[in-house]
Amino acid sequence: MNLVRKVIHFLFPSFCEICQKPLDDLEVLVCNSCYFKLPFLKNYCQKCGNVDLTYSEVSYCGKCLSLKFYFDKFIAGFKYEKPISNWILEAKFKENFLLAYQLGRLLNKTLSLKVPSVDVVIPLPLSKGRLKKRGYNQSFLIAYGFSGKKPELNLLFKTKETQPQMELSYKERVENIKDAFLALRDKVEGKRILLIDDVMTTGATLNEASKALKKAGAKEVYGCVVARA
Ligand SMILES: [Zn+2]
Ligand SMILES: [Zn+2]
């Protein structure tokens, strides 16, 4: 630990979100013993995140062999279960900015070896209307914590105001989010991009955003979320 970090750590000690034990410098959000009890997502389909893979399905589930996805791979840290789900809700709706940032760091710690090397890490954007209403984009803060630097915001835009996906059926979700994103060719062409969001449910949103990036010439797009619902 360098001196500056030591001083910051001394002045602003942080505590485990679960058991309140003081954290050391390598622990993020929770202490090590609580960390290993988190609901990690394991052995999931690398397209849709389905966890019920059979013995013969190694990377993709049978359903995904016939579906077209625009992202090259789906990567997730956790199942959408407590305490992860509570933290995500707090980061999204209760303006807990630090928690959102720390969730990004926690995701990075958890996935470090599973994330392919990329040129740029960006959050899934909100539409102008939604951003104005909520005031911030939690996925921006997660991406910030994940990469340790301020994500670029001038690559991908959500140009269509859509209904919240939560209230819709799968078919409606696909229709609702269709052509909702726009990517700038001069910013994304030839790049390998890691697209970060808080939760993935059906993958319809991630897929549409990836479609826009691929259409604008992105070389590879990886969809990465804190939790798979
Ligand atoms: Zn703890
Ligand atoms: Zn699948």
Indicate whether 139 and 154 sit together in one domain: yes
pTM tops 0.95: no
Q: Given this model, what pLDDT does residue 166 score?
A: 79
Taking the centre of ligand 1 as the mean of its atom positions, its distance from the CA of residue 45, in whole angstroms, is 30
Q: Given this model, what pLDDT does residue 68 score?
A: 83
Cis bond before residue 123 (omega within 30° of 0) = no
Indicate whether 192 and 207 sit together in one domain: yes
Q: Given this model, what pLDDT does residue 170 score?
A: 84
Indicate whether 140 and 78 sit together in one domain: yes
Q: Given this model, what pLDDT does residue 2 score?
A: 66
Q: How far is CA 19 from CA 14, 16, 25, 27, 34, in A?
A: 12, 6, 17, 13, 8
Paired sense of beta strands 181-183 and 73-79, if any = unpaired
Taking the centre of ligand 2 as the mean of its atom positions, its distance from the CA of residue 114, in whole angstroms, is 18
Indicate whether 72 and 171 sit together in one domain: yes
Q: Given this model, what pLDDT does residue 180 score?
A: 96
Residue of 205, 204, 200 whose CA lies nearest to 79: 200
Paired residues of 37 in beta bridges: none
Contact indicator for 145, 102 with CB cutoff of 8 Å = yes
Taking the centre of ligand 2 as the mean of its atom positions, its distance from the CA of residue 128, in whole angstroms, is 32
Domain enclosing residue 200, as ranges: 38-228
Taking the centre of ligand 1 as the mean of its atom positions, its distance from the CA of residue 37, in whole angstroms, is 10
Indicate whether 25 and 106 sit together in one domain: no
Q: Given this model, what pLDDT does residue 107 score?
A: 97
Query: Tell me: the pLDDT tens digits for 36-68?
Result: 999 999 889 999 998 877 777 678 888 887 778
Q: Report residues of the chain scoring pLDDT below 70.
A: 1-2, 5-6, 8-10, 57
Indicate whether 29 and 44 sit together in one domain: no
Query: Tell me: the pLDDT tens digits for 128-138?
Result: 999 999 999 99
Q: What percent of the chain has pLDDT over 90?
A: 73
Taking the centre of ligand 1 as the mean of its atom positions, its distance from the CA of residue 187, in whole angstroms, is 42
Taking the centre of ligand 1 as the mean of its atom positions, its distance from the CA of residue 4, in whole angstroms, is 25
Ligand number with the minimum distance to the CA of 45: 2
Domain count, the chain: 2
Query: Tell me: the pLDDT tens digits for 160-175?
Result: 999 888 788 888 988 9
